[in-house]
Amino acid sequence: MKKVKLTAETKNQILENLLKRNPSQYTQYEQTVNDIISNIRENKNKALFEYTAKFDGYQLTEENILVTRAEIDAAYKELDPALIDVLKEAAENIRSFHAKQLRNSWFDAKEDGTIVGMKITAIERAGVYVPGGKAAYPSSVLMNVIPAKVAGVKDIIMVTPPGKTGVINPGTLVAADIAGVDRGGRGGVEQAIAGMAFGTESIIKVETIAGPGNIYVALAKKAVYGHCSIDSIAGPSEVMVLADETANAHYVAADLLSQAEHDELASAILVTTSEKLADEVNKEIDGYLLKLEREPIMRKSLDNYGYILLADNIQDGIDAVNEIASEHLEILTANPWETMTKVRNAGAIFLGEYSSEPLGDYFAGPNHILPTNGTAKFFSPVNIDDFIKKTSIISYSKEALSKVHKQIELFAKSEGLTAHANSIAVRFEEED
């Protein structure tokens, strides 16, 4: 990994390099994505089936688009029983964590008849896109579906690429069943996103779409936003480790590589006050690369987006952490909890040497679908709020309105909206 002295200039250079991975930078693909979405919107199943044959090599039909109960039962038989138990235990942790985010509708009533409040309602129908093809991620199925289920969504639709044989990964099917997917279907990337956003003869239109994916998934979600809601427009995965001289280099190197193996655009950054630790981490990485399976991907990732930043002091390191706003942040300092209180921007924070990032990916319970590319400055992990909507409630008695009607009329007239003012005034014509 590149070892760099942390300065304002180097920090800005790294930020600029990292932002090149933002989905918004890939404008050359937008027209292709938009054309596919328009075709799906207009021609529905016909276009969906044609694109699936073209991109996935599978002949999709109205008869085979939906996953059957028999397929799910077969998936259970194919999967290692021990893995099924792990999926169930992880699901319970995720369910328990997200249940704590639930909020009730509330109302504030006063004696004069003034009532204001907030009515919280689950979205009726949610769509979940699950990547397929070269890799399958049952963990992402759990992380997307369970918060929706806990929020009270009545109808959850999952769509995933079928591959050339039409067979869906058994881990994906079992995870979907455990999480509570109501309907599963076959469909890849842009056409699946468009199908859920606008509906086809075989896919029911949803109110929100969640789920990770490649650049085409990100651009498709961006294109349909407004026709439905989306969780976020995610970029490549990233991890940052903030460490001092007390950190274990063997652990730090392993944690950096756990994200670098995702893809060649993944980012892994160590910020440390210890040059000794920096050198040890580099040596440990070299050793790991000799024995880990995805060595070519990790090496390319580290060559392009891997950095070791040497900070003069821990506060400078924290400032860099807040500016870069990484998806995952591990804090391996003498007092990680104290350091954590100074961190403002991170998708998820992992404290101490036994809280490595994969713990959050698979098992702990907090959601692993996190803001990337610096968007942790203003976005949050997927949570219950992604699957609910809030409605304001207002109820005034005549007594309550009579106390303030002249103020409201004055306010409306100041904006030139006399019909607004009249709507209030007519209720007190006899009195005036």
Positions marked catalytic: 327-328
What 3-state class would DSSP assign to 114?
A: coil
Q: Do strands 115-122 and 106-109 pair parallel, antiparallel, or not at all (unpaired)?
A: antiparallel
Cα dist from 234 to 15, 273, 325, whole Å: 17, 31, 14
Q: What one-character DSSP code corresponds to residue 267?
A: E
Helices of type H across 290-429: 295-305, 314-324, 336-340, 357-362, 398-402, 405-414, 418-425
**Side-by-side strand order, sheet with 388-395:** 106-109, 115-122, 388-395
Q: Which amino acid is at 276?
A: K
Cβ burial, residue 313 (10 Å; 0-12/13-18/19+): exposed
∠ CA(35), CA(37), CA(39), 5° rounding?
70
Task: Count the residues in the chain.
Answer: 432
Buried b (16+ CB within 10 A) or exposed e, 72-98: beebeeebeeeebeebeebbebbbebb
C-alpha–C-alpha distance, residues 61 and 119, integer Å: 41
Q: Do strands 306-310 and 328-332 pair parallel, antiparallel, or not at all (unpaired)?
A: unpaired
